[in-house]
Amino acid sequence: MNNFIRKYPTLENYPITWSIILLNALFFIVQTVSGGSTNTVNLVRLGAKFDYGIAQGEYWRLLTATFLHIGAIHLILNLVGLFIFGRLVEKEFLRFRYLIIYLFSGISSSIFSYWSGSAFISITEIENCNQGLGAIGAGASGAIFGLLGCYAAFLMINKNVLGSNARESLISIGLLVFINVIYGATASNIDQVAHVSGLICGFAIGWLLSPAKQLIILPDSLNDSSILISLNRNNLSKIFIVSFVILIIITTMAYFQRTQFLNELSDLCRLDVWYKIK
């Protein structure tokens, strides 16, 4: 095992990223052997985002849904994204901060996805009970978009030090987000709300936790060389802190608004009678 780790140092350098990848793969194996990764009943049983269940107190679905995937292609695409952007974030942030960013982005995107089920409809406009329940949701894409937003925040904070590399990376991130938004608008069964909210929440917490780079010149007898070191930032603007607090408040309000809607729907349709998950 030690020889394997030395041969592939990325396993040692990025333990959080590889642990999350492994956890997603293990969840998928459990899905496959327990009834299938595309089986709706199995997804709900294993912890997918099921809005009525969340409204009934199954808060853990907001997290477990981020480790479940609907089909092998869904899993592979997300793991590739996690492999690319997870390592970038883990390299620049402390591992504990990286984990906080990933979990915050994943849970926040689940909450906004949960809210979107009745964001533009009132209980009086419901024509049938299924209309207000929302879709079953699963996938790590909200958290991965959070990593993307987080890394964008890091690049913006350090753009003067990183120079053209930061600008080119920010352009690439912008193009990637644009392509995903356009594709999501034309394809079905893609949770755009989770993607966009994950990106925004990841950017917000990334800006809060991002280290600042400083260029240090090392005089040398032959030629000058330089290194980049990370510094803690103590100059967070009050405007940004207030904005982050407002984001938390909006997220909380979105959760309770959706929960109230589903409770009213439950009273209207007697959902408590049929909601039994074996």
Residue ranges covered by each domain of the chain: 10-274
> Does the CA dihedral 26-28-31-33 come out positive or negative?
negative
d(CA 15, CA 10): 8
This prediction has a pTM of 0.83
Per-residue pLDDT, 120: 67
The residue to which tokens 């030690």 are assigned: 2
Which of these, 19, 37, 230, 209, lies nearest to 136 by C-alpha position?
37
* The pairing of beta strand 225-231 with beta strand 212-218: antiparallel
Query: Could you tell me the pLDDT band of residue 27, with boundaries at 50, 70 and 90?
Result: very high
Judge whether residue 222 has pLDDT over 60. Answer: no
- Residue, of 2 and 42, whose pLDDT is higher: 42
Q: Which of 217-221, 258-262, 268-272 has the highest mean pLDDT?
A: 258-262
- Run of H or E residues at 228: strand 225-231
Per-residue pLDDT, 218: 47
Question: Of 116, 118, 195, 197, which residue is the catalytic one?
Answer: 195
* Inter-residue contact 5 to 101 (CB < 8 Å): no
Buried b / exposed e along 212-237 (16+ C-beta atoms within 10 A): bbeeeeeeeeeeeeeeeeeeeeeeee
Average pLDDT of the residues in 175-191: 81
Judge whether residue 221 has pLDDT over 50. Answer: no
DSSP 7-76: HSTHHHH-HHHHHHHHHHHHHHHHHHHHT-TT-HHHHHHHT-B-HHHHHTT-TTHHHHGGG--SSHHHHH
- Run of H or E residues at 230: strand 225-231
Q: Which of 2-6, 104-108, 175-179 has the highest mean pLDDT?
A: 104-108
Lowest mean pLDDT among 44-58, 67-81, 180-194, 233-247: 233-247
Judge whether residue 53 has pLDDT over 70. Answer: yes
> Which two tokens mark 243?
């904005």
Q: DSSP state, 211?
A: P
Query: Could you tell me the pLDDT band of residue 177, with boundaries at 50, 70 and 90?
Result: confident
d(CA 198, CA 261): 23
pLDDT in tens, 231-261: 555 555 667 777 788 888 888 898 888 888 8
pLDDT in tens, 60-71: 999 999 999 999
Q: Which residue type, as a one-letter code, is found at position 122?
A: S
Judge whether residue 223 has pLDDT over 70. Answer: no
Average pLDDT of the residues in 201-222: 72
Judge whether residue 144 has pLDDT over 90. Answer: yes
Per-residue pLDDT, 220: 53
The residue to which tokens 């984001």 are assigned: 247
Q: Is 243 a catalytic residue?
A: no
* Inter-residue contact 112 to 254 (CB < 8 Å): yes
- Residue, of 77 and 124, whose pLDDT is higher: 77
Q: Is 195 a catalytic residue?
A: yes
Which of these, 112, 84, 111, 90, lies nearest to 206 by C-alpha position?
90
Per-residue pLDDT, 6: 47
* Inter-residue contact 224 to 169 (CB < 8 Å): no
3-state SS, residue 252: helix
Judge whether residue 4 has pLDDT over 50. Answer: no
CATH architecture of 10-274: Up-down Bundle (1.20)
Question: Of 108, 141, 210, 266, which residue is the catalytic one?
Answer: 141
